[in-house]
Chains A and B, each alone.
Chain A
Amino acid sequence: MRHYRHLAGVASLLALVAAGPAIAETTLTIATVNNGDMVRMQGLTEDFTKANPDIKLQWVTLEENVLRQKVTTDIATKGGQYDVLTIGTYEVPIWAKNGWLVALDNLGDAYKVDDLLPAIRGGLSADGKLYASPFYGESSYVMYRKDLMEKAGLTMPETPTWDFIREAAEKMTDRANGINGVCLRGKAGWGENMAFLTAMSNSFGARWFDEQWKPQFDQPEWKNTLQFYVDLMKAAGPAGASSNGFNENLTLFQQGKCGMWIDATVAGSFVTDPKASTVSDKVGFALAPDTGLGKRGNWLWAWSLAIPAGSQKTEAAEKFIAWATGPGYLDLVASRDGWANVPPGTRASLYANKDYTSAAPFAEMTLASIEAADPTHPTVKPVPYTGVQFVAIPEFQGLGDTVGKFFSAALAGQTSVDDALKQAQDASTRTMTRAGYIK
């Protein structure tokens, strides 16, 4: 009998608790990438939950490749595991076209959508609608050692040409002392060497496909790009460059083994950080090189937050996105961790802010690089796709990896430049035919 009374007590208590809160509680599951800026965001969420006590946040933090695989399979099979997704400029236009994302029209006035940098906003929009909100954006530029430049008797212009880069790289190279004139990505992968090489090829006037989706690797512009790259790396690159990606090159540069490094703008804060870099006080920045054809070899990327279509929690997700990517978040980070640590590259107001530009020596060049990229007109000739350092079609991840392998083999000296280009042409023709682009 006493047991029953207990049970009854518990039951009525439960009923009270269930009836208690007037507002229904929503739990948002957020999938994100384990980059420093996102990890910091998790630490700051108290600021959000205080203002929105009815919304709980659950984080799924993964490494970039794993995140991409999970999120892609989840959205493609309509799994519905996540309410907010962290995706890049590559996914957004494709997924928006498939009807997989919710258009972000209701982020509120405080969000200030017109403050977004036009290039970034363009990369995250389809048919004029914003489908993902940028958390941080990046381009690529030249990072160089001022001391080695001086020793070589040269001055880096703000807008170098590829010929100047080659001349400088050859003069700076001092293999006996372990100094390589230039470090560039060589590791195969659509987000590794192909990000760099596709962006570089834009400045040489090359393109992946013509307007009929016919692969263009048999054209002279690609031959010029790849030959120049391989020759440059042979003359002035580090040993084993075909296995170097972003992280490997970062290590080499921080250890003072590179004269120049052309890579992501986010690296600016790593190479100038005295705690991590042995050359922190000797680094200069310049725009990515060109060949005088009107396009520079720099890319454009933004990690962004989006809501999958069919989500039951759209309203709460919109509130969260407006908080995490709105202007108020930048002030929040600045007040806690200082201006140098705010997520860069998304808003014009940040670059008008004196506090930020004086705290970040790379700020001006980052903005100029982002503005120099146009995802809708990435190269000299017209293209049927969007994306500066990628082609925003579903097949690109696999194809970009395959082509990246051929180019990495050319860099390693395992195949000739001509063979690598022929293999790339054949593989892309195969893929594009199978996917139905080429009839």
Chain B
Amino acid sequence: MTTTTPTRKRAAKSLVPGSDSRAFWPYLIPGLALLTVIIIVPLLWNIYLTFTDYRGIRPPEWTGLDNWEKLFSDATFWTSFGNSIAMIAAMVVVPTLLGLVLAAMLFDLIGKKFGGRIASFLRATYYLPQILPAVIAAIVIGWILRPQNGALNQVLAAVGLGDLQHNWLGSPDTALPSIMVIMIWVQLGYPIVIFMAALQRVDPELYEAAELDGANWFQRFRSITASIIRPEIFVVTLTCTIAALKVFGPIYTLTGGGPGTSTIVPAYYAYSEFFQSQQVGYGATIATALTVVIAAVSIVFILVQTRLERRDEEVTQ
């Protein structure tokens, strides 16, 4: 039954011996049917709207590529994408790197030397912001940062740094950095939880062997930890990048994209065109452009991931 083909040809074979991969199609039916109704149809509808002038009341009026031309010369749109880069730094780069170090620290050092309880308590603490609804987080952060009697300014005054008091979210120079710090705070727990779970797969003997070979902590971390938990690093990086590109809630609740356009992001820009300016056709165009960018990033990402997996499979076989 087991026809082991030593060739590199990717036969359409399932992991269950004797089961053709086609026989697994029925399992995809519920998921793909729901996906079609809830995601694919609205997406196509939305793409249609990008070619129309639609104000939400009268039926859409076909205008061809007008919206798309407007988009490419729209400075606000480009600003919003520039801010997306800042969001990626705050929601992907910093949390993933810091999360890797903290997860390894908790698991490898604190967990082993001070006990698993302390490690899981700290992990739970780091995860706290993730369980806070964005709306509620915004209320709290709103007080902390507000110019009059906000907690941060009060603390600064109390420790004699009153000169540093600032309207953190209200002035163009600090609004974006403030949001970035908040997003790091929100995001950090997610990679830590996933990485710590992944670390349990690492065979402790590998570490000991490396230790005997004289590898220091960082070398062990890089060559063992980081390589074994690579699938999780991929999952975290991709999902956080998607989240960063379409971030909406914190902007909506904290700054509304302001002051001016200093904290505007594409999702918020699309939303304000939809519901504040009633320019549904143009809002749809912004949202579609954003979707294209996210899809492109994700596809490149998943292709790289698949290629690496396949290479690993060949190595281990």
Q: Do A and B come from one complex?
A: no
- Footprint of B on A, CB under 8 Å? none
